Amino acid sequence: MIHIITATNSEAKFFINYLKLKRISSIKEFQIYFNDKFSLTVSGIGKVNSAVAVCSTYHELGKIKNNCWINIGIAGHLNSFIGELFIINKIIDNSSLINFYPYSPNISKIKQLSCTTYEKADSKYNDSLSDMELSGFFQTANKYSFKELIHSLKVVSDNKENPFNYKENTGIEKLFEAKKNYFYAFFEKVISIWSENIANDKIIDEKTNNLLSKIKTTQSEHEQIKKLLKLAYLKKKKIETNIFASESDPKIILSILKKIL
């Protein structure tokens, strides 16, 4: 699953419609929308909000490790034109001066740039994009997922010649819509990285957990059986899964598995 985090409703609106997401009405703290492949959470402005939104999304949606996380939002830049889309390859936290380096997959025709996360809106503009969420998002998502599965896309909303107008946020949806094809290509790339590297393990994990749920074990027996079952699947050894239905003694199951392997 890809979890998208945006700061505001106006940044979220395009994706809610484009991906046909439905709101989870039982969750009150944040607006969380989802379908079978994506979730989208509106975090509110600021890095603390963004961090808490990641944390809530993780816990509300099944505490699944190593899903994909993407922060998508608008950002200011010195001279890039309004509507230009960037993949972020370096995050600078302006308060702590700690830098982070997302994996930033290369997608043709999407340029890469750094983004500086500020505590307050930055009106000075420089050669790094500026936002108010990304460092908080990235640090928190990295607790739940590999760095290579965490990304950020920024669309330039303002520059030195066209400073940000807080009263006029109706155009934001159109800025995102204009980049629809690029977002699609990016999502495809992110899903392919996940499928090639993470998906198989999750399938095996599910199979082993299903079998293990049928017997009572100590923690140590659970770990040992899980590892042996996984090895059996990886080595494509035939396991009589009905032993888990007929045999409840984990010690006997362990010894059967050791014999098979």
Partner 1 sequence: MKIKNLYIEEDVLKDEKAIRIQKKLRYENKIICKNYREVFNPKNQNFRIQKKEPSVILAKKKRNLILEAPKKFNIGFSENYYFSHMLNCIYDCNYCFLQGMFNSAHYVIFVNYDDFLLNIKDKLNNSSNNICFFSGYDCDSLALEDITGFIEYFVEKFVKLNNVTLEIRSKSTNIKSIKKYHPSNKIIPAFSLNPENSITLHEQNTPKLINRINAIKELQNLGWNIGIRFDPFIWYGEISKMSIFFEELFKSINKNRIHSVTIGNFRMTNSYLKRMVKINPTDPYILEKQIFQILPSKNDDTEIKIRNIKEKISEFIDDSKIFIN
Q: Which is nearer to partner 1, 178 or 203 (CB)?
A: 203
DSSP per-residue letters across 82-141: TT-EEEEEEEEETTT--EE-------TT-EEEEEEE-SS---S--SSEEESSHHHHHHHH
Q: Which two tokens stand for residue 153?
A: 């896309």
Chain position carrying tokens 């997608």: 107
Written as one letter, the residue type at 127 is D
- Report in angstroms how near the CB of residue 133 gets to partner 1 at its nearest: 19
Contact indicator for 7, 44 with CB cutoff of 8 Å: yes
Question: With b meaning 16 or more CB within 10 Å and e meaning fewer, what string describes 165-187?
Answer: eeeebeebbebbeebeebbebbb
- Report in angstroms how near the CB of residue 104 gets to partner 1 at its nearest: 7
Q: Which is nearer to partner 1, 100 or 244 (CB)?
A: 100
- Report in angstroms how near the CB of residue 201 gets to partner 1 at its nearest: 4
Q: Which is nearer to partner 1, 56 or 112 (CB)?
A: 112
Binding residues (CB under 8 A) for partner 1: these are 89-90, 99-101, 103-104, 106, 112, 114, 142-143, 145-149, 193, 196-197, 200-201, 204, 223-224, 227-228, 230-231, 234-235, 258, 261
- Report in angstroms how near the CB of residue 52 gets to partner 1 at its nearest: 19
**In this structure, is the dihedral angle defined by the CA atoms of residues 53, 15, 117 and 171, taken in order, positive or negative?**
negative
- Report in angstroms how near the CB of residue 162 gets to partner 1 at its nearest: 26
Q: Which is nearer to partner 1, 82 or 90 (CB)?
A: 90
- Report in angstroms how near the CB of residue 150 gets to partner 1 at its nearest: 9
- In Å, how far are 43, 61, 222 from 183, measured between CA atoms? 20, 23, 42
Q: Which is nearer to partner 1, 148 or 247 (CB)?
A: 148
Q: Which is nearer to partner 1, 45 or 211 (CB)?
A: 211
